[in-house]
Amino acid sequence: MRNGDECENNSHSGMTSQSNHHDDCLFAPTGCGSSVTSHMSDHNVSVFSNQSPQLKVYADLVKLYPENKAYVRQYAELLLNAGQLSTATEILRHLHHLLLKQGENSKADNLAMQFPQIGRINNSRGQYREDIRKLLPLSMRNILWLKLHQKRLQEGHHLFRRGEMDDTLYLVCEGELAEFIKGNNGKPVLLNLIQAGDVVAESTLLLPGPHKTDVVANKISIVAKLPRRKMATALARSPSLKAALQHKADFRRMTALISSCPLLENVPLDMRQHMAVESFIRQYPTGTTIHKSGEKLSYVDLIVRGEACFQLQDKDSLRELKSLTPGSLIGDTEAIQDGGCPADMIANSALAIVHIPCDAFIAVVEAYPPLRNALFANAAKQRSQLMDKLNELQTQQLN
């Protein structure tokens, strides 16, 4: 047999109809690999082969042809049906790797959503890295004009610092820039990597004010300064350019807000961006009941402005159990453990909350085990504080 196609046609024609039944999930066979990749071991493709003849057949096929996506997928499904979840998860991770390796990003994303247990993050954030140059006026794409407005940055040098006033939009022509904010412990937290064809400082162009981040050259870089006056004219004439810049600014702002949470700031950048894609911010006036005790939460809430609290109704009075300040997460461990809100959550002041979809949050927790550990450690601390407060209130009642 020269490849997976011949193997499928000649060695197990009786299974072809079953493979074709999953056209939406299975992919056309590709060439065979010479050895099993590092994502799978001989043990993992044969440990359960004695439990089912069909399972043994696909275990052998995957061992012989580790880059055949149809065989890998079918083997994973057989393992899932047999209850061999650990091995199935590893095989699915291998399939995800194959899809990315062959440039089938959308299929990899679909696989990650269908099987969140594999702990893989999709690539939907790529839509925010489009080449802005094609939307600029022709005069600003002229090579000579760009050269006249270029600025060279040495590696490690700042383009601008937090607090500086500047309403210029910068186009990266060569190199790479890194955007940071100061984290909870004073260390820089990476927000964005800006590569050639992308822009930076779009937020201060759209809404003038001091920069809220630091931008540093990751390597020797060349940027072109796009003056505000020319950009204002371009934005007025091109709604698509304005919409693209606003979309980019909103996404980067959401990433920055998520990164301001002490529990999330050390999560890898691509995972914070994954959460930012579908997150949204909502305002609540003072006194609003955000959640009721025991309520099932569809989002993980991150307070970014204002203050709230958990309240307990005791006969005719309300008792505050815990204050919730900017950076507080609500519903994080409940999302993992399928629980509810621990108490009534009330806005003590005008409140701004970032709502992170539970599915996106759980996918990141699955992909980044240190976050799970940090969340459970924080949950234990929060429970202890709540119990201490309850004991204090009970003591006050007795006295």
Give 154's contacts (C-beta < 8 A, 6+ positions apart): 217, 220
Distance (Å, whole) CA 336 – CA 92:
21
Write out 330-343 in H/E/C secondary structure. Answer: ECHHHHHHCCECCC
Dihedral, 24, 28, 33, 38 alpha carbons, nearest 10: -10
For helices 69-81 and 4-11, give the axis angle rounded to 10 degrees: 60
The number of helices, as runs of H, and strands, as runs of E, in the chain is 15, 16
Residue 228 belongs to domain spanning: 128-261
CA distance 257 to 369: 22
345 shares a domain with 255: no
Of 66, 90, 120, the position where a domain reaches its end is 120
Per the structure, the count of domains in the chain is 3
Same domain as 313, residue 342: yes
Contact 194, 203 (CB under 8 A): no
Residue at which a domain ends, from 211, 226, 261: 261
pLDDT in tens, the chain (399 residues): 334 333 433 333 333 333 333 333 333 333 333 333 334 444 444 444 445 788 888 888 999 999 999 999 999 899 888 878 778 888 888 898 888 888 887 888 788 777 766 666 655 445 556 678 889 999 899 999 999 999 999 999 999 999 999 889 999 999 999 999 998 888 899 999 999 989 999 999 999 999 999 999 999 999 999 999 999 999 999 999 999 999 999 999 999 999 999 999 999 898 999 999 989 999 999 999 999 988 988 899 999 999 999 987 766 667 788 889 999 999 988 777 777 888 899 999 999 999 999 988 988 888 888 998 899 888 888 777 777 777 776 666 666
Establish if 273 belongs to a structural domain.
no
**Residue 114 and residue 168 in one domain:** no
Q: Does 274 reside within a domain?
A: no
154, part of any domain: yes
Edge-to-edge strands, sheet with 169-174:
150-153, 221-226, 169-174, 199-200
CB–CB of 139/131 below 8 Å? Answer: no
**CB contact at 8 A, 310 and 321:** yes
Cα 317 from Cα 398, distance rounded (Å): 16
30 and 101 both lie in a single domain: yes
Judge if pTM exceeds 0.85: no
Q: Which of 120, 141, 160 is at the close of a domain?
A: 120
Q: In this predicted structure, what is the pLDDT of residue 2?
A: 38
Based on the domain organization, do 309 and 213 belong to the same domain? no
Is residue 269 in a domain? no
Domain assignment present for 268: no
Q: Judge if 388 and 291 occupy the same domain.
A: yes
Note the pLDDT of residue 148.
Answer: 93
Q: Residues 227, 168: contact at Cβ < 8 Å?
A: yes
Task: Tell me, yes or no, whether 271 lies in a domain.
Answer: no
Domain check: are 182 and 81 in the same one?
no
Residues 168 and 213 in one domain: yes
Contact of 219 with 155, CB cutoff 8 Å: yes
**Together in a domain, 250 and 202:** yes
Give the whole-angstrom CA distance, residue 279 versus residue 301: 10
Per the listing, tokens 């980067």 go with 252
Residue 291 covered by a domain? yes
Question: Helix, strand, coil % (nearest 5) of the chain?
Answer: 45, 20, 30
Answer yes or no: do 148 and 233 share one domain.
yes
CATH of the domain at 339: 2.60.120.10
The pLDDT value recorded for residue 122 is 59
Q: What is the pLDDT of residue 16?
A: 36
DSSP 8-class letter at 62: H
Dihedral sign for Cα 285, 342, 261, 106, please. Answer: negative
Query: What tokens does 122 get?
Result: 């999709």
In this prediction, residue 343 carries a pLDDT of 85
Question: What region does 156 belong to: left with phi over 0, alpha with psi -120 to 50, or beta?
Answer: left
Q: What is the CA radius of gyration of the chain?
A: 26
CA distance 302 to 352: 9
Tokens of 103: 């440039």
Cβ atoms of 101 and 40 within 8 Å: the answer is no
Q: Are residues 112 and 133 in the same domain?
A: no
Asked whether residue 193 falls in the same domain as residue 103, the answer is: no
The kind and range of the H/E element at 71 are helix 69-81
Amino acid at 85: L
Residue 287 lies in a domain: yes
Residue 93 β-bridge partners:
none
